[in-house]
A and B are shown apart, each in its own frame.
Chain A
Amino acid sequence: MLGYLARRVLLLGLMLFGLACITFVISHVAPGDPARLAAGPDATASMVERIRAEYGLDRPLPIQFGQYLRGVLSGDLGRSLRTREAVAADLARYFPNTFELVTGAMLLAVGLGVPLGILSAVYRDTWVDQITRVVSVSGIAIPAFWAGLMLQLLLALHMGILPLGGRLGLMTAPPTPVTHLLVVDALLGGHWRVLGDALAHAVLPTVTLCFPALASIVRVNRAEMLETLKQDYIVNARAQGVSELRIVARYALKNAMIPTLAMIGLRYGWMLGGTVLVETVFDWPGIGLYAVASAVSSDFQPIMGVTLVIGLNFMLANFLVDLAYGWLDPRVRSTMSA
């Protein structure tokens, strides 16, 4: 098991190095002059050169890359030309918001998607199944930004029951940061008004982000449940008079959850990097918005920082899914040990 873990960590490092190389090359071959943009539209040539020198953009690319890698290893992801702050500090400010949003959306998607998938399979071809399938197809077919705008229009503008966007109300002071996760910090501090405000602001983006994931979970879980419920051991259990509830909950679900879990893990990693549209529509101050603002400014250090963070999260999610496989499936566990 330890050998397996060591191999995976080594592979993770290699993949991150590869990701850093690719991102660096793409950022630097893209047209545009970040120094000119940072210097401002009216800047003279000497002003642009000054910025270029200040940020080390006048050095040969291999040297810049070497410096970047050395920085990454010591936790320094460079400095943003746009915000003039350390990228690591910017990411530390924005990432918790994205983490909260994605985690909330995924919890909602799993909480609703798994039971709906089971119901859909158990009551196959009934009205329950039909409705669930419509929901799941819609979730995949409707673009997130459109769904977000429609929800915003309906629930915020016309009905006025939820805020339009943002992370907190304008006059709400955030609680003292402990975990930097707003909901958790409000809970820990017992700031109920802040908690309510934070949750109210989170409803629309969470639902919007959750919808596609929910649809995928329902579809995969339904398909796996249908397949599992046809297996011989289930038929055998039924023949022995085991109750249907026990068959579904105890014997079928565990096996059906293996592919669903893999999908959840991948989806979670993907969602951490795929919040751009939802964050933009709802002005959710996360790394998606940070990445967009950096990309339109050709500010490549933050773009590389965001890519590395998203890549790392994606890999970690995969890693955890692999471990969960082992927990669910003894055959996989024995492979890991070998």
Chain B
Amino acid sequence: MRVLVTAVLAVLVAAAPAPGFERAGDRKILVFAGRQEVPTIDPSVKYDWSIRMAQQSLYDALVKYVGNPPEIVPWLAEKWESSPDARTWTFHLVKNARFHNGDPVTAEAVRFSFARTLKLNQGPAWTLSEFLKDDDIKVVNEHTIQFTLNQSYSPFLSWLPWWYVMNPKQVLANEQGGDLGQKWLTTNAAGSGPFRIKRWEQGVLYELEALDNYWKGWPSKDHIGGVIYRIVRESAAQRAAVIRGEADIVEGLSSDDFDQVAKMPGIVVPTFPGMTTFGIKMNTQKGATKDLNLRKAVCHAFDYDALIKIYNGNAVLQTSPFPNATRGYVPVSGIYRQDLGKAKEFLSKSAYPNGGIELEYVYVQGLEEERKMGLVLIDNLQKLNITVKMVPLIWPNMVGRGAKVETSPDMMAVFTTPLSSDPDAVAFQYHKGSFGKYYASHFYTNDAVWALIDRARTTARWEERAPLYADIQRRITADAPEIFGMLANRRWAMRDHVKGFVFSPVRFTGEVDLYPLAIVAK
């Protein structure tokens, strides 16, 4: 009986309404409620928004993306220079950087980290593996490192913020069966970043603790003392968590929910134009959508304004295949907008002048916005006597279908976030080198465009690259490999005591840079 009474009392105490942020002694702990797990934090193995948010907090890279438009700023490297042909890149490291265990961050650690990622050939390896071999990374001295690429590659610097530096001693000390520390680094960190791991409960929550003596210092005296990233899978529960003050930041709410919580006291919803494009990719090599005129007819039939309405006005239409924040972006005149006259004109020039065909529209099962876009397509294409078959699939199955020409659907709804602000990150999505990836499910083929992309990425001077990218944007638009849709705004709901949020469009959808965040409250 005594146990029962004690338990009931304890339940009542534990169930008391939660305050805003959590406290651990003097530390103010920020609570981030996100839907996505962090299955690994190994910087050489994988990235997505939640993984990268953790990696960015635990590790440092030579340089970092900051601000909007995204700017590359010095981090572990205090300065750098490149040869005129953009083949040799030399970085000079800061001398005061320390790993969490106190070891200095040296050029050898940088070399080891790059070599490890290239050897494992996972995660960000694909961004440089074509141009950089581990033998071509040279330690000049303790604080200077040099990369010699096998050919000129201008976007080199733009990828480096995602190549985090690991402590070789810790990694090798935890190596199991020659795995280069992969098993250990899945849930442990060997970095020099502003936070270190405090708790790691896989699939439940991940707690990071701020380092008081972070080598780079902190931007605010009120900087957060730590972060609890808690998995909350249901959108309704995320919404309730931020309203109730159980979470300080939530991501991934629906447009309606964001609009609703924005009106509530104590909650702010920062809204910024993102770099994630929404496009409906059309298979340009098979079926009816192989016909350029049919694709143009579809592009002109689509109601673009409906996209903005689906997002309650929190989106802007694409005016080029490139997102607006991409370097070298130009608005393409004559980009497709709804014009039924033009749509019928192109249809009449196609192999299906009277329509009478069915096109498959594949979208992510359960993603309401994509389902609504499919309904818009059905309505729009009906006017061309084209029927649309909506096929919801789970994401892995969509990726599987989009990997081959033979199975890639007529139309596939795809959100794509470029990994860097360099135009090559977007242009290369339309290169044959991207075939097999979900964003290349159009299998766009144009030898002249491919040659331009190859030339632009290996040209050193920006003045020469810029016109090439302008040309690439115009040519891709003319070939209509997809319905160029919109750029949805990035949004988070935050309690108003969270300060210091810095947006950078090159970060992934829900990703937040935790380093500059502060909690200013009594």
A and B associate in one complex: yes
Contacts from A to B (Cβ < 8 Å)? 30-34, 36-37, 39-48, 50-51, 82-85, 90, 93-94, 149, 152-153, 156-157, 160-167, 169-172, 187, 192-193, 195-197, 199-201, 203, 280-283, 285, 289-290, 293, 295-298
Residue B451, interface by CB 8 Å:
no
Determine if B233 and A289 form an interchain contact, defined as CB atoms under 8 angstroms apart. yes
Q: 0/1 per residue, B400-424, Cβ < 8 Å to A?
A: 1101000000000000000100000
Task: Contact check, B230 vs A166: say whether CB atoms are below 8 A apart.
Answer: yes
Smallest CB separation, A114 vs chain B (Å): 21
Asked if residues A283 and B39 are in contact (CB atoms below 8 Å), the reply is no
Inside 8 A of B3's CB, which chain A residues have their CB? 187
5 contacts between A and B (CB under 8 A): A164-B244, A171-B22, A199-B10, A201-B14, A298-B394
Verify A31–B397 contact, CB threshold 8 A. Answer: yes
- Chain B interface residues (CB < 8 Å from chain A): 3, 6-7, 9-18, 22, 24, 29, 31, 37, 39-40, 45-48, 121-123, 125-127, 129, 182-183, 186, 201-205, 228, 230-234, 236-237, 240-241, 243-244, 246, 394-397, 399-401, 403, 419, 436-439
A37–B7 contact, CB under 8 A? no
Cβ contacts under 8 Å, B22 to chain A: 170-171
CA distance A281 to B22 in the complex (A): 23
Question: CA A193 – CA B16 in complex, angstroms?
Answer: 13
Q: Give the Cβ gap from B491 to chain A, nearest Cβ, in Å.
A: 21
> Are B13 and A152 neighbours in the complex by a CB distance under 8 Å?
no
CB contact between A41 and one of B182, B237, B243, B437 (< 8 Å): that residue:
B437
Q: Is the Cβ of A281 less than 8 Å from the Cβ of B237?
A: yes
| Interchain CB contact (< 8 A) of B121 among A47, A195, A201, A203 | A47
Q: Closest CB-CB distance, A182 to chain B, in whole Å?
A: 12
Closest to A169 in B: B14
> Contact: B396 with A296, CB < 8 Å?
yes
**Distance in angstroms between the alpha carbons of A32 and B236 in the assembled complex:** 29
Of all A-B residue pairs in the complex, the 9 with the closest CB atoms, nearest first, are A196-B10, A298-B396, A32-B396, A160-B17, A197-B14, A32-B400, A200-B14, A200-B15, A32-B397
B contact face: mostly helix, strand, loop, or mixed? mixed
Write the nearest CB–CB distance from A260 to chain B, whole angstroms. Answer: 27
- Given A33-B399, A164-B244, A170-B205, 9 other A-B contacts at CB below 8 A? A36-B400, A41-B399, A46-B121, A50-B122, A83-B39, A83-B203, A167-B204, A170-B29, A193-B13
Chain A residues contacting B246 (CB-CB under 8 Å) are 163-164
Residues of chain B within 8 A (CB-CB) of A199 are 7, 10-11, 14
Give the residues in chain A near B182, CB-CB below 8 Å.
84
Decide if A41 touches B203 in the complex (CB within 8 Å).
no
Interface centre among A32, A164, A289, A296 (most CB of B within 10 A): A164
A48 to B22: give the CA distance in the assembly, Å: 41
**Interface contact B126-A42, CB-CB below 8 Å:** yes
**A85, B183: Cα distance in complex, Å:** 8
Question: Please, which residue of chain A has its CB at the minimum distance from the CB of B126?
Answer: A44
B203's contact among A34, A36, A203, A293, by CB below 8 Å, is which?
A293
Q: CA of A200 to CA of B14 in the docked complex: distance in angstroms?
A: 7
Partner of B15 from A33, A40, A163, A166 at Cβ < 8 Å: A163
Indicate if the CB atoms of A36 and B244 lie closer than 8 Å: no
